[in-house]
């Protein structure tokens, strides 16, 4: 088992990026979208830094002390290349979210990942896709 404190923040963010991507893909398939072009186009609406920055605002009040610490750890990582489609602030928040999801994945907390993903993107409220 991996010790979450021994994994670099960059590695947690890298892993978390794929965890969020998988959550998005599962959600879109569950919606019944079958066209690969539409799946890819729709997925981008969830995984862009600006979208993640908005989504993470919805879950910040729900985070426990440890989860908040991992979010901050990711948010505060030194960023050298920010995408043109996002501000530095948005990119930092998105990296924090990715780090949090990477941490949760390493800890085997699939149920918590699903819970936070649903709240982040307002999946059960009818406001998402």
Q: In whole angstroms, give the CA distance from residue 87 to residue 93.
A: 10
Both tokens of residue 73?
């750890």
Mean predicted lDDT score pLDDT of the chain: 90
pLDDT the model gives residue 125: 58
Verify whether residue 64 is a known catalytic residue: no
**Domain-embedded: residue 103:** yes
pTM higher than 0.85: yes
The predicted-structure confidence for 42-84, as pLDDT tens digits, reads as follows: 999 999 999 999 999 999 999 999 999 999 999 998 766 766 7
Q: Domain for residue 1, yes or no?
A: no
Q: Which domain holds residue 107?
A: 9-125
CA dihedral 104, 73, 86, 13 (to 10 degrees): -40
Give the total number of structural domains in the chain. Answer: 1
What CATH number is attached to the domain comprising 80?
1.10.1520.10
34 — pLDDT class (breaks 50, 70, 90): very high
Mean pLDDT, to the nearest integer, of 107-128?
Answer: 88
Q: What is the 3-state secondary structure (H, E, C) of 13-36?
A: HHHHHHHHHHHHHHHHHHCCCCCH
Which of 17, 35, 50, 64 is catalytic? The answer is 17
């Amino acid at each position: 088992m991996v010790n979450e404190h021994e994994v670099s923040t960059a590695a947690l963010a890298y892993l978390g990026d794929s965890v969020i991507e998988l959550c998005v893909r599962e959600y879109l398939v569950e919606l019944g979208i079958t066209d690969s072009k539409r799946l890819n186009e729709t997925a981008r609406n969830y995984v862009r830094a600006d979208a993640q920055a908005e989504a993470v605002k919805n879950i910040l009040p729900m985070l426990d002390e440890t989860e908040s610490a991992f979010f901050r750890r990711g948010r505060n990582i030194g960023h050298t290349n920010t995408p043109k489609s996002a501000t530095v602030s948005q990119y930092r928040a998105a990296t924090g979210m990715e780090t949090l999801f990477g941490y949760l994945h390493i800890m085997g907390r699939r149920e918590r990942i699903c819970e936070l993903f649903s709240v982040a993107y307002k999946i059960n409220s009818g406001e998402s896709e």
